[in-house]
């Protein structure tokens, strides 16, 4: 079952250091761009993933095509994709050994969430970490 309590979500956000943001945009008006900036300001390393802008840089980070290109351990995959596309991203997150998946506001895929949980990943669905961090008073990442 996805994490839903404030305590569960706060604990996850306190543990996260490295985030892969799937659906990252280089356009400042896009929500994913603002969320990436907010997560970086919180102290997280955020690695953008978007096959349409691979090789570009967003907020100083190289944009990768797919999660399997990253090479670095990923604490959480933040998914800015349509609900119909979230399952494939979750399957990739499982394959790379991510610890958690976060489906953004309006992104819901119960079957994919169940697969992630069965594989041992924590799941948050239909929420935004850039909203939850200040709402829950999560301290900035240090060290």
Q: What is the pLDDT along the chain (143 residues), one digit of tens a residue?
A: 889 999 999 999 999 999 999 999 999 999 999 999 999 999 999 999 999 999 999 999 999 999 999 988 999 999 999 999 999 999 999 999 999 999 999 999 999 999 999 999 999 999 999 999 999 999 998 76
* Sheet bearing 122-124, strands edge to edge: 45-49, 18-22, 76-79, 100-103, 122-124
Contacts with 80 (C-beta within 8 Å, 6 or more apart), sequence order: 21, 22, 23, 24, 25, 31, 32, 35, 104, 107
Annotation: CATH topology of 6-136: Rossmann fold (3.40.50)
Label residue 106 left, alpha or beta by phi (over 0 means left) and psi (-120 to 50 means alpha): left
Q: How many CA atoms lie within 13 A of 44 on its CB side?
A: 29
DSSP string, 83-120: HHHHHHHHHHHHHHT-SEEEEPTT---HHHHHHHHHTT
Residue 143 is predicted with a pLDDT of: 63
* 82, 107 contact by CB (below 8 A): yes
Q: Facing residues of 41 across strands?
A: none
Nearest to 21 by CA among 4, 36, 37, 34: 36
SS3 state at 55: coil
What does the domain layout of the chain look like in residue ranges?
A: 6-136
């Amino acid at each position: 079952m996805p994490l839903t309590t404030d305590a569960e979500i706060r604990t996850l956000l306190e543990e996260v250091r490295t985030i892969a943001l799937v659906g990252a945009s280089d356009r400042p008006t896009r929500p994913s761009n603002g969320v990436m900036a907010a997560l970086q300001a919180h102290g997280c390393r955020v690695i953008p993933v978007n096959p349409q802008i691979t090789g570009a840089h967003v907020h100083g980070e190289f944009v990768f095509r797919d999660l399997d290109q990253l090479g670095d351990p990923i604490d959480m995959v933040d998914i800015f994709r349509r609900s119909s596309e979230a399952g494939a991203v979750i399957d990739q997150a499982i394959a790379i050994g991510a610890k958690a998946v976060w489906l953004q506001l309006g992104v819901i895929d119960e079957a994919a969430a169940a697969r992630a949980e069965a594989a041992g990943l924590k799941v948050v669905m239909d929420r935004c970490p850039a909203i939850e961090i200040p709402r829950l008073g999560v301290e900035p990442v240090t060290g």
